[in-house]
Structure 1
Amino acid sequence: SAEALINRSKHILMLLPPAILAALCIPAIVFSRPLTDYQVEYFQLAAALVAILIARFSRSVFWPVVGGMLCLWLLRFISS
């Protein structure tokens, strides 16, 4: 029935925002340095953690990305 399809689709659609967030953030964190450089950039990891925390409590993809970027820019501004 249509109601069963809608109920099944709701669970699948709830997984979409974390998947989109991961697709946007993980490549930028993992592949931001040359492959021969194994140093960890702590500012990016901190910004990623902030984005994960915001994503945990937000139903939007927009706010975790904005929060993570603001955190990254703030940390870089403070350190310079």
Structure 2
Amino acid sequence: MTAWSSTQIWLAIILIGVATYSIRLSFIYFFGRIDEVPERVQHVLRYVPAAVLAALVVPAVVTIEPTVSETVLDDRVIAATIAAIVAWKTEDVFWTIGIGMGALWAIRFGPGLVGI
């Protein structure tokens, strides 16, 4: 149970929805009114895909384990390290995701693949 009433919950859902819609609409509205995106904004927007990927991946990789050896030798950390090296060398998001997922898959299921 929660201390909030159903009316308060629905009000919060509606307010969050309106805020999200307003933020998205503001970008469409403002960028629709200008002829060219300013150079400074283009420079900042270049980093959005990497920031989003990091925001999605880091919480799945970083865990709180009782010992350092269990954390460092975790299959997710090893695959993420391989993916980070690929990202550094290739600077390609698709190669990074593909190699990272392939490494994770190989680490997790590799020994069982020998019998296939």
TM range (shorter): 0.5 to 0.7
Q: Structure 1 pair 36/68, CA: closer, same or farther in 2 (3 Å)?
A: closer
Unaligned runs of 5+ in 1: none
Aligned length: 75
Is the CA contact 1:51–1:65 (under 8 Å) kept in the aligned structure 2?
yes
Matched, 1:40 2:79: no
1: distance between equivalents of 2:95 and 2:86?
Answer: 7
1: distance between equivalents of 2:72 and 2:101?
Answer: 14
Matched, 1:63 2:95: yes
Please report the TM-score for the alignment, with normalisation by the length of structure 1.
0.66
Q: Structure 1 pair 17/37, CA: closer, same or farther in 2 (3 Å)?
A: same
1: distance between equivalents of 2:65 and 2:80?
Answer: 22
Q: Structure 1 pair 77/4, CA: closer, same or farther in 2 (3 Å)?
A: closer
Question: Computing the radius of gyration over CA atoms, which structure comes out larger, 1 or 2?
Answer: 2
